[in-house]
Amino acid sequence: MIGFARRVGFAGMVLAPTFGFLMAVASGAAGLTAVPGQPVYDPAQWVLVANHLHSAPGGSNGWSSGVKHILTYCSARNIEFALMTDHNAIKTWFLPEFRVTGKTTPVGGMEWTSEQGHANLIGFTASTPEQAILPCGIRGQAPCAQEGQQDHASMVKQVHERGGLVIINHPVLKGYKWPAGTCGADAVEVNRSWSDRYGVAARQWWHDKLLKGDHITGFGGSDYHYFRPLSSSDEEEGLEESEHSNEASPLSPDIETPVNLVRVGEKTVAAVMDAVRAGHAQVLSDLTQPRVFLGCDANGDGVFDDYMMGDRVRLAEGSRVVIQVRVLGGKGQRLRVFDAKVGEMLSGRGPEVHDITSDDFVLALERTASAGKDRFLRTEVGERGANVTNPLYY
């Protein structure tokens, strides 16, 4: 764990003159209380969410550790929501163990699985296991209108009509690539996959969409599988952590690698889904990684709480805007700030890189607003996606 509760003296902060950054200032927080001016981390409003969990045999390319184990495992790590996504199946939603377990609420989803890409469909309505939303041409579904061609956009529309949201999975994974565009999806995985070890290619795919002006949310999904058979006692008890080790299954990531930290008004499934849609989320490559908060002061009260990651800053075009980036628990790592304009070439400017010199670190950035039209700023910690925030559109 990171020492969020550590006390550090307030060293103040100063803004650089006019252009741009930079003022990396060591600043302080008394416990978790906000220091005036800084984006706040209120643990009561940020919840950990695990996504892309294969939870049932038959829907998991083989074996799974099962819903009960997944929920018990998440609860022990304060992961409060677990998004269950089996391949083209929603049978798990109807199991008796699919219920609040300890601190963790299961969320019904499925992995829409086609040769032209995979996507997690989350939280759509279904009253029987037969009401999954399936690709054309499989399991008794109508053949595809055009042979072998999925209609991604109408799938997304159907999910939306049924109250759900769509997260594109491993967009560049060889053999399962999503089409070039978002097709109206709400979010995309921006972390590693089997063929993209640190998620660099996935984040490039995402950034390219942001540069095209598409406000699609970056989200994390572990693609947790469990490839060894379970014994009956495993099923009764849930698994021990040691038994769950990847030594048994080097191909499968852990449930919390990565994990999402999501800002919710209240701790409900609906609030989590709204937060995903709004981009009020950051992706941590594992639970030990730094937390990062973006804040903007628009009403001039000196508190950077009017806009956060995912938001569009509604300030008049050309006006001065100050954005603060606060990093907790990142001392010794590097903060990468991607500040971009819609329409720029992907191969354009790289990120600005700042050393994170304290465990409660604030960077103040001064910019000129575009009324949220075509500028955005997002951050990553390190080059392997230790922490990835959603953009603030300014």
- The CA dihedral of 52, 55, 56, 59, to the nearest 10 degrees, is 0
Report, in Å, the least distance between residue 225 CB and Zn ion.
Answer: 7
- Inter-residue contact 30 to 7 (CB < 8 Å): yes
Binding window for Zn ion (CB under 5 A); candidates: 88-96, 156-164, 197-205, 223-231: 223-231
Nearest to Zn ion of 27, 88 (CB atom): 88
How big is the chain, counted in residues? 394
Q: CB-wise, 171 or 295, nearer to Zn ion?
A: 171
Shortest distance, CB of residue 391 to Zn ion, whole angstroms? 25
The answer to whether residue 359 forms part of the interface with Zn ion (CB under 5 A) is no
Closest CB to Zn ion among 121 and 356?
121
* Residue 176 CB, nearest approach to Zn ion (Å): 6
Distances in Å between the Cα of 167 and the Cα atoms of 56, 152, 281, 335, 359 are: 20, 12, 13, 26, 32
One-letter amino acid for residue 187 of the chain: A
Sequential DSSP letters for 365-376:
EEEE--TTSSEE
Whether omega before 391 lies within 30 degrees of 0, making that bond cis, reads: no
Find the shortest distance in angstroms from Cβ 224 to Zn ion.
Answer: 8
Q: Which residues pair with 325 in a beta bridge?
A: 294, 363
Contact call for residues 210 and 187 (beta carbons, < 8 A): no
Position among 80, 223, 254, 311 found at the interface with Zn ion (CB under 5 A): 223
**Alpha carbons 200 and 195: distance in angstroms, whole number:** 11
Nearer to Zn ion, 111 or 311 (CB): 111
Task: Give one DSSP letter per residue of 247-311, joined into a string.
Answer: TS-TTSPPTTSSEEEEE-SSSSHHHHHHHHHHT-EEEESSTTSPEEEEEE--SSSS-S-SEETT-
Q: Which residues of 254-267 are buried (b: 16+ CB within 10 A; e: fewer)?
A: bbbbbbbbbbbeee
Task: Select 157 or 177, whichever has its Cβ closest to Zn ion.
Answer: 177
Q: How many CA atoms lie within 13 A of 31 on its CB side?
A: 3
For residue 297, give both structure tokens. Answer: 């002061």
What H or E segment, with its residue span, contains residue 262? Answer: strand 259-263
Binding mask 71-110 for Zn ion (x = CB under 5 A): ----------------------------------------
Minimum distance from residue 56 beta carbon to Zn ion (Å): 12
d(CA 307, CA 184) in angstroms, rounded, equals 24
Residue 360 found at the interface with Zn ion (CB under 5 A): no
CB nearer to Zn ion: give 223 or 380.
223
- Asked whether the beta carbons of 72 and 97 are under 8 A apart, the reply is no
- Which residue lies nearer to Zn ion by CB, 223 or 359? 223
By CB under 5 A, residue 169 contacts Zn ion: yes
Least distance CB 229 / Zn ion (angstroms) = 19
Q: Which of 118, 152, 367, 378 binds Zn ion (CB under 5 A)?
A: 118
| Total site size for Zn ion, rule CB under 5 A | 4
**Measured from the CB of residue 257, what is the shortest distance to Zn ion in angstroms?**
14
Closest CB to Zn ion among 118 and 192? 118
Provide, rounded to whole angstroms, the least separation between the CB of residue 390 and Zn ion. Answer: 22
43 in Cβ contact with 72 (< 8 Å): no
Nearer to Zn ion, 170 or 375 (CB): 170
Q: Which residue number has the CB closest to Zn ion?
A: 118
DSSP letter for 33, please. P
Ranges within 254-313 binding Zn ion (CB under 5 A): none
* Binding-residue pattern over the window 128 to 167 for Zn ion, x denoting contact by CB under 5 A: ----------------------------------------
Residues that bind Zn ion (CB under 5 A): 111, 118, 169, 223
